[in-house]
Amino acid sequence: MRHLMVLWGLAMHVTTYSNCGADDSLAELWRQAALPMNALERARLHGKACGFESSFAVDVAAQSAIAASALAATEIDRLRMPGIDAQRVSVDVQHALAETSGYFTLNGERPPVWAAISGLYACGGALERSGRSGRPGHVRIHANFAHHRDGVLRLLGLPEGEGTTRAQVQEALAHWDAVDFETRATQAGLVVAAARSAAQWQSSAMHAAVAAQPLVGITRIGDAAPRVWPTRKVDGRPLAGVRVLDLTRILAGPVCARTLAAHGAEVLMVNSPHLPNIEAIADVSRGKRSTLLDLKSDAGRLALRDLLSDAHVFVQGYRPGGLERLGFGVEEVARLRPGIVHASLSAYGRSGPWADKRGFDSLVQIVSGLNSDEAAAFHGAEPRALPMQILDYCAGFLLAFGVQTALMRQAEQGGSWHVEVSLARVAEWLRSLGRRTVEPQTAAATVDMLVAPWLVRSASGFGELVAVSHSARLSRSPTDYPRAAVPPGTDQPVWA
């Protein structure tokens, strides 16, 4: 209660936004998915947003994406149990924002979000000599993984390893053109993005390809008989018995699978023993079992095929083409498991000049002009990041929404289905929700205060975990996570 009083007291000193656009946004998501519009009567989007200041409607995006996924779960529940009343959905906007903050602690400490040299840098001399601009450009470097960090340092001619400082990176970049550095880094398979204005992004071939994508693509990719829903109890969760293979690592994909787990799905996270994970693996592993498979080995591929034979959903966030080379492309998975719902997450989609480009939320924000526009709204000179990784989280919730929509189509029409969401298309959607004038703040709530009312404590395989609960509430089924988070490799590669 004390945290709530502090939170609403601080709200008097910051810009507050109404949630008047969230109902419209949810209705449009629902309409695009061709779902029954009368279901919207069962959704209650409420509350007022405070803190998490942005000129973009991050509150509307978070609340409506979470509500769409939860309402889809109640539609599945209605199909599976036609003799009972359909469940109602409630999403508080401040709780939704807290969830998208990604806040968590382990054993009382907040793990670092970024590696030492990750972040924004100014570029200099080469840009001025090019004649393209009299102002230095900016690049954002994503170096949370050691191989990405060392690749950037090699490109800059700096010593590899943790000893190189931000100051050394900044000094080296003073001799680079921002776009030239981005191009060279991309060619080397690194994760770097140059800042663009909205106008620059919207005039590019990349934007044209992204804008042509649906926000949530749901495509029938093969023939199969409708599958019978697994047996479940009347008081069970909507997705009870639905088996989900989660081949993702970085926020958006794991958030999708974690959301499905909150609605009762049996989720098995499949990681590679050779690939690193981010610190947030402790948070996004809630509700899941976790195993390791080397898909470059015959034994690993065979084990995944065995798991696939009993799966209902296959979620993957590999760069386009990555799984195809391992024998688990979209068409191959549908052939191996007719009736599967295959969900793909990518940075820029599967078409256009950046179809195979690596990317994360922070990089898509900066190339799409979101950060330049945010800086202008706050009267800043440097690109300004949004207050949370909203593209990752909304992409995850929207992918979960698409998966559940495809599960309903499969049960009613048959077929195998492919669901696609890209971070760049989510950025376009966020922009379409409108902008707000940012008012000067006299006081600011810390993230700890903003998320405090919704924190839950649990034992985990990583230590004592304190994290934000799922913000969707159903009138009958719980939406907490049924399993404690465990490290990769804790479980055998078998269904429970």
Portion of the chain with pLDDT greater than 70, in percent: 93
Confidence of residue 11 (pLDDT cuts 50, 70, 90): very low
Determine the pLDDT at residue 232: 84
- pLDDT tens for 121-144 read 999 844 444 344 444 599 999 988
DSSP 106-151: ETTB---SS-TT-EEEE--HHHHHHTS-SS--EEEE---SHHHHHH
Mean pLDDT to the nearest integer, 325-344: 96
Cα angle value 140/143/147 (rounded, 5°) = 140
pLDDT at 18 over 80: no
Kindly state the DSSP code that residue 326 receives in the 8-state scheme.
G
**List of residues 6+ apart from 321 with CB closer than 8 A:** 356
pLDDT at 326 over 80: yes
pLDDT at 440 over 90: no
**List of residues 6+ apart from 225 with CB closer than 8 A:** 338, 339, 414
Determine the pLDDT at residue 332: 96
Number of other CB atoms surrounding residue 18 within 10 Å: 12
- pLDDT tens for 394-415 read 999 999 999 999 999 999 999 9
Q: Which amino acid is at 418?
A: H
- pLDDT tens for 280-293 read 999 999 999 999 99
Kindly report which listed range (67-76, 227-236, 321-330) carries the lowest average pLDDT score: 227-236
- pLDDT tens for 98-124 read 999 999 999 999 998 888 899 999 998
pLDDT at 17 over 60: no
Determine the pLDDT at residue 443: 63
List the structure tokens of 152. Answer: 């950037």
Determine the pLDDT at residue 90: 98
pLDDT at 26 over 80: yes
What does pTM read for this prediction? 0.93
| Mean pLDDT, rounded, of the chain | 91
Confidence of residue 276 (pLDDT cuts 50, 70, 90): confident
CA atoms within 13 A on the CB side of 103: 25
Confidence of residue 480 (pLDDT cuts 50, 70, 90): very high
Confidence of residue 169 (pLDDT cuts 50, 70, 90): very high
- pLDDT tens for 206-250 read 999 999 999 999 999 999 999 999 988 777 899 999 999 999 988
Mean pLDDT to the nearest integer, 440-465: 90
Determine the pLDDT at residue 275: 85
Confidence of residue 4 (pLDDT cuts 50, 70, 90): very low
